[in-house]
Amino acid sequence: MDPLVARMRPFGTTIFAEMSALAVRTGSVNLGQGFPDTDGPPEMLEAAVAAIMGGRNQYPPGPGVPELRRAIAAHQRRYWDLDYDPDGEVLVTAGATEAIAASILALCEAGDEVVCFEPYYDSYAASIALAGAVRRPVTLRAGHDGYTFDPDQLRAAFGPRTKMVLLNSPHNPTGKVFTPSELALIALLCQQHDVVAVTDEVYEHMVFDGAHTPLATLPGMRERTVRISSAGKSFSCTGWKVGWVSGPAPLVSAVLRVKQFLTYVNAGPQQPAVAVALGLPDSYFDGLAASLRDKRDRLCAGLADAGFEVFRPEGTYFVTADITPLGGTDGVDFCRALPDRCGVVAVPTQVFYDHPDAGRHLIRFAFCKRDEVLDEAVARLRKLAAA
């Protein structure tokens, strides 16, 4: 008999772990899991070394070290004109992943419904299931205008049991940046139905076309939004697992109540280093976006040349592509066979849907890699059309 609790049985090993292990086993170029292959800003790395050597190796305070909470608040004021009190409205977490899990566990009763957009980041479904809550997915469909959803499907997803909207913009895996009118509709529905928004904005500094607008900046939304971000993406340190939550004090204190029993605290010496990184000049954040924009263009062009239909992303680390022109029908089969066929790893996105048919033909490539790695991947993928 499976000792695992029933609510977790539908969840196997994450696709990211499976695909990274496949890349290592087959010596493939890994454009699957989204992690950069270069280090973040040297000022931040040096600050972490100094913190370790300087004796900051014990438990930090539960909500996070004060200089990091102050830096998180200052950074949001600087970029988004959002004001949060570092004492009570900001909480440091073990990555965005813990922030998401703690928010859902803190705010949803069993049977409450969570509206989210599919394909969704895989931890959403698992965290909703752990809370005994129910997900109400709204489908993002790939088309000539990128990924869009049917506003009527969104309206219909809200009902008497809706407790939360979980919004990820810029969006993984599609690279979609939600438009002002889409955000306005989400905000309107949250207010009409008295629903809390949890916004996963880990790609806030990776927007190439258009602009990122935090949902919390829309009228009436700051008081009902739990805003989440993370150092992993903004500072190329995905292994540090330093994330944070900002929001009105009652919501943040509810999240802290759960978070303290998940990890209590984490990343003592990295926390002051992330504070340094958040204070870097605009040139750092502009440079990060510019470098990723070039990489996006490089990989999109290469994938199109290799025969894929490419859905050009507006933000994030990721581009999705249709495998149909290359004779593929099922992304999972395609990605499992890809290392043997040409030595490249990608991620099938159908595993991020409740309605996998909407994404069966789509796969995701990460472009947060050195140019020579992207070029090598494209050279290998070109063999597919020839085969």
Q: Which residues lie near ligand PMP (CB under 6 A)?
A: 95-97, 121, 168, 172, 200, 202, 230, 232-233, 238, 241, 243
Task: Tell me the three state secondary structure of residue 177.
Answer: coil
The CB-of-43 to ligand GLN minimum distance in angstroms stands at 24
Distance of CA 138 to the CA centre of its chain: 17
Q: Which stretch of DSSP H or E encloses residue 93?
A: strand 90-93
Please identify which residue in the block is written with the tokens 């490089």.
298
User: Whose Cβ is closer to ligand PMP: residue 202's or residue 344's?
Assistant: 202
The CB-of-192 to ligand PMP minimum distance in angstroms stands at 26
**CA atoms of 84 and 106, how far apart (whole Å):** 20
The CB-of-385 to ligand GLN minimum distance in angstroms stands at 26
User: Whose Cβ is closer to ligand PMP: residue 214's or residue 328's?
Assistant: 214
Task: Tell me the three state secondary structure of residue 229.
Answer: strand
The CB-of-16 to ligand GLN minimum distance in angstroms stands at 3
The entry of ligand PMP, ligand GLN, none that residue 14 binds, CB within 5 to 8 Å by partner kind:
ligand GLN
Instruction: Name the DSSP letter for residue 58.
Output: S
The CB-of-26 to ligand GLN minimum distance in angstroms stands at 18
Q: Does 172 bind ligand GLN (CB under 6 A)?
A: yes
What letter represents residue 225's amino acid? T
Asked whether 118 and 354 are in contact (CB, 8 A), the reply is yes
Of residues 11, 16, 79, 80, which one binds ligand GLN by CB under 6 A?
16
The entry of ligand GLN, ligand PMP, none that residue 95 binds, CB within 5 to 8 Å by partner kind:
ligand PMP
- β strands within 5-145, DSSP E: 29-30, 90-93, 113-118, 134-139, 141-143
Tell me the torsion sign for CA atoms 148, 128, 14, 63: positive
Among residues 379, 253, 362, 231, which one has the least CA distance to residue 309? 362
User: Whose Cβ is closer to ligand PMP: residue 139's or residue 174's?
Assistant: 174
Among residues 1, 13, 64, 73, which one has the least CA distance to residue 279? 73
Side-chain half-sphere exposure of 188, counting CA atoms within 13 A: 9
The CB-of-98 to ligand PMP minimum distance in angstroms stands at 7
**CA atoms of 303 and 281, how far apart (whole Å):** 34
User: Whose Cβ is closer to ligand PMP: residue 13's or residue 283's?
Assistant: 13
User: Whose Cβ is closer to ligand GLN: residue 32's or residue 146's?
Assistant: 32
The entry of ligand GLN, ligand PMP, none that residue 200 binds, CB within 5 to 8 Å by partner kind:
ligand PMP
The CB-of-305 to ligand PMP minimum distance in angstroms stands at 27
The CB-of-112 to ligand GLN minimum distance in angstroms stands at 25
The entry of ligand GLN, ligand PMP, none that residue 320 binds, CB within 5 to 8 Å by partner kind:
none
The entry of ligand GLN, ligand PMP, none that residue 243 binds, CB within 5 to 8 Å by partner kind:
ligand PMP
Q: Does 79 bind ligand GLN (CB under 6 A)?
A: no
Q: Which stretch of DSSP H or E encloses residue 320?
A: strand 318-322
**CA atoms of 168 and 204, how far apart (whole Å):** 10
User: Whose Cβ is closer to ligand GLN: residue 65's or residue 347's?
Assistant: 347
Burial of 110 (0-12, 13-18, 19+ CB in 10 A): exposed
**CA atoms of 374 and 31, how far apart (whole Å):** 8
User: Whose Cβ is closer to ligand GLN: residue 14's or residue 191's?
Assistant: 14
The entry of ligand GLN, ligand PMP, none that residue 16 binds, CB within 5 to 8 Å by partner kind:
ligand GLN
User: Whose Cβ is closer to ligand GLN: residue 11's or residue 16's?
Assistant: 16
Which CA distances in Å does 387 have to 171, 348, 356, 382?
A: 33, 21, 28, 9
Residues 6+ apart with CB under 8 A from 312: 146, 175, 296, 300, 319
User: Whose Cβ is closer to ligand GLN: residue 189's or residue 303's?
Assistant: 303
Q: Does 33 bind ligand GLN (CB under 6 A)?
A: yes
Q: Does 14 bind ligand GLN (CB under 6 A)?
A: yes
Q: Does 11 bind ligand GLN (CB under 6 A)?
A: no
Please identify which residue in the block is written with the tokens 């900002």.
246
Interacting residues with ligand GLN (CB under 6 A)? 14, 16, 33-34, 172
